[in-house]
Structure 1
């Protein structure tokens, strides 16, 4: 199987990178250049992140939350990371004793790199931290050193990037980690020292005296060329279906047709909407004009239909004629409907300002719907039927 490993720095723009291509039975091919020039034929693609950009930390997570989404795990670490949960991608790695180990990655930087690689046709299958690629023996720690800084792996899922040091001074972080391990009775038997070049090897005797732990020179190590089948995948990107590769190209003519059809329908819909809106404004303006001609003393016209109905009602009352919203006309139409109900079904009738409230005994759904339909047939408006306690309330009014 061919594996493409891409070394991505989340703090830098996703424009170029170092990479290595592994082919079974062949020497690894190394490269450094633009993302667009990456090999496209690899069967598996790995994104390798620097040790300093992946925070490996312990926490106590409820058992049911360990397999949950990254956003939920990020909220569980909000206090420890002292950052907004939405800015972190958090992955569950495994358990160490009674505690859990989680990996914290900058979400925006990771998303930028994944999107940039996808844009050039490279789909990432796995995301790894170079700390967990470092070789490690049971009971031993591993330190990678370039002469001034490096990274240390202290367990199956644990490690960190170190601070600065030199030939005669080990990094301070390494000493702090050893002090913490001593308090927990978990000191390593020794520390395997890997360097990126032979000249980067420090004075092991001086370091051993300052750290209080044996160090052994384990040789040259390069994270880009390291082969490890046990390292943990920090992110599980969407699965890519190779059987569907090229499907977009084959369907491109059909997609163009569908897009053009949707565009035409959208233009037609917007045209109809604009025409109807124009007609609505024209009709409303005609109603306002007619209302002002009929009632020139009106100060403002907010709702010409409602105001015309009220003016008509006032005119009828002034002429001694009843209006459809008066009590007698409404009770006559309501009574014609309610007379089909059993005796005692109507508990109370209230009337105020053209609205009549009826309190009925609860009826079956079909009966209630039939009553509402007959009220509407009589020219009444039925509003929000509801049940209050053991009573069914129906509010009717003139249209």
Structure 2
């Protein structure tokens, strides 16, 4: 899963009225194994394709724009904590709590890290990312994403046309940021914030030699180029996107699928049209066939006024005519009795079984036996005479003989 880390300048160094897509942006693209694939500097709008392709986008909020507080928070549910949080930190804020967005980390040792920043600025940044195609977005404090080592502070200096920004991590739960006009002013402030501890400072690669010269007299300071490899994405850092209800908001990237979806829709439309046309053709054929049968029936029996099923009524008329002319039908009593008698005689030469009764109803001959008889042999003999034998349910001594035609 690729992760794209984005760093936007502090709000004090930007024109808040301009489009966020035009802001300068430092980015680092990492692969699934946390290997830096590429990094660099560009504008946010020019990263549109990379943002759309990334599985996750992590916006590192400038340390000067976000305050991180370490508080003892009572054990509350997530819903109750969101309601109580503004009251817990209101006395530590310079701005109105209503105008701020807040997020807290999971509790450790009874305390939580609480991140606070201006709601309007974060909303603009996240909306701009979603407009560029970001599918899964997190917003983390920049200072808590710096590498941390016990007894050592880590700082990152970023330079822009109208000033410099500092992100400083002092400990596992402590960090801050500031903005100055010149690098010299920033370094002076940094020495005051970290007077004695070991310090690693990451600076823009193009300005590495200049900062090495400025810090050459301070042996406790290590100066390195900011290549993006030292940035971390800790799971424990408070995600400010949760305060806006936008954490991990997943949007399906439909662009790569637009042509396959269009082709599938076209195929579905063509198949639907073909099925409808085939149904219409078969329906017309069935209607024509019914009309022809009705025409033939009326031609043969013009006096008939009620025609519900011309095929069945024609069969009934033919059977009645044959019966009136003396031709026995296959399901007449005489035909069934004669066929059964011949089959019984051929299959039962010893006459071991006897018949107790014969009944004719519903076009079938019902035979009641006194004792069991070989039904298999009788079935074979009846089949030769186009008759069928079925044993009545619940009684092996009752047979139903009917025409097999």
TM-score scaled to structure 2, two decimals?
0.48
TM-score scaled to structure 1, two decimals?
0.49
Structure of larger gyration radius:
2
Higher relative contact order (CA 8 A, sep 6+): 2
